[in-house]
Amino acid sequence: SHELRTPLTSILANLELLHAELSGEDAEIAGSALRSSRRMRRLVADLLLLARADAGRRAPRKPVDVGAVVRDAVAEAAPIAAGRELALDVPDTHGSATPAFVEGSPDDLHRLALNLIENALIHTPAGTTVRASVRREPPRAVDGAFGPAVVLEVADDGPGIPAAVRHRIFDRFARGAGDAGPVRGGSGLGLAIVRAVTEAHGGTVTLDERERGGARFVVRLPAIAAPKPMAPTRARLARRRVVG
């Protein structure tokens, strides 16, 4: 994966320049090659993430606001919603709701959230709703562990997951039955990455059935206290006095 990233970056850069210079049919051909190269770049990144997980290597960790991560993932997925409604329910870091922080890798958690949202969009027809939500739960017993948790849910009101594939939905290269509508083909690694990232952060992920139909993925991660705002240093205070 590492060896592939450098030539892929070069290919993408050249295709982007070429696409910008061309017009008509030539631009369409370059655009198709560019889209394929971007899919290849993402596949390489997915394989690298899974290889890192297999080797037990952890990405650098820091306090992460899961609500902000999911908010960014929803914004990124919005252009490909294609007639589906994307709803968001996350605590406002500056509001009265308790912020949902975990100790983790921002990039990996973003990939987790984006994969869940894109998976829901792929397998639901136009006119349905995909809802992403984040909340902080008080301490309780979860798989034998006690402690507060950050819960990330992505639910939809589509056809749901076929019973025949539910037991292997998180396996690598597993693909469920498609839906009606123009959706993108996947590599079959999206939910495997969700599980790998969740477990690397000491959490659990489950697939639950909804009473009104559709699928609901629930990720629980160990919560941490929200980091305290950094006190301004003397240099910052001095600059503020000078500016004032």
* pLDDT higher than 60, residue 183: no
* pLDDT higher than 80, residue 52: yes
pLDDT tier at 180 (50, 70, 90 boundaries)?
very low
* Residue 95, helix vs strand vs coil: coil
For residue range 124-140, list pLDDT tens digits in order.
888 999 999 999 988 87
Percentage of the chain lying above the pLDDT 70 cut: 82
Question: Do the beta carbons of residue 119 and residue 77 sit within 8 Å?
Answer: no
* Long-range contact set of residues 70-76: C-beta below 8 Å, sequence gap at least 24: 70/113, 70/132, 70/133, 70/134, 70/152, 72/110, 73/110, 73/113, 73/114, 73/117, 73/132, 74/117, 74/132, 76/114
* pLDDT higher than 60, residue 210: yes
Task: Give this prediction's pTM.
Answer: 0.78
| pLDDT value of residue 112 | 95
Please report, as a single letter, which amino acid is at residue 55: A
**155, exposed or middle or buried, with CB in 10 Å at 0-12, 13-18, 19+?**
buried
| pLDDT value of residue 184 | 43
Question: Do the beta carbons of residue 126 and residue 83 sit within 8 Å?
Answer: yes
**Four-residue CA torsion sign, 54, 55, 58, 59:** negative
Mean pLDDT value of segment 109-119:
94
For residue range 160-177, list pLDDT tens digits in order.
888 888 888 888 876 654
* pLDDT higher than 50, residue 54: yes
Mean pLDDT value of segment 179-183:
37
For residue range 4-40, list pLDDT tens digits in order.
778 888 898 999 999 899 889 999 999 999 888 888 8
d(CA 234, CA 232): 7
For residue range 102-111, list pLDDT tens digits in order.
999 999 999 9
* Residue 177, helix vs strand vs coil: coil
| pLDDT value of residue 186 | 58
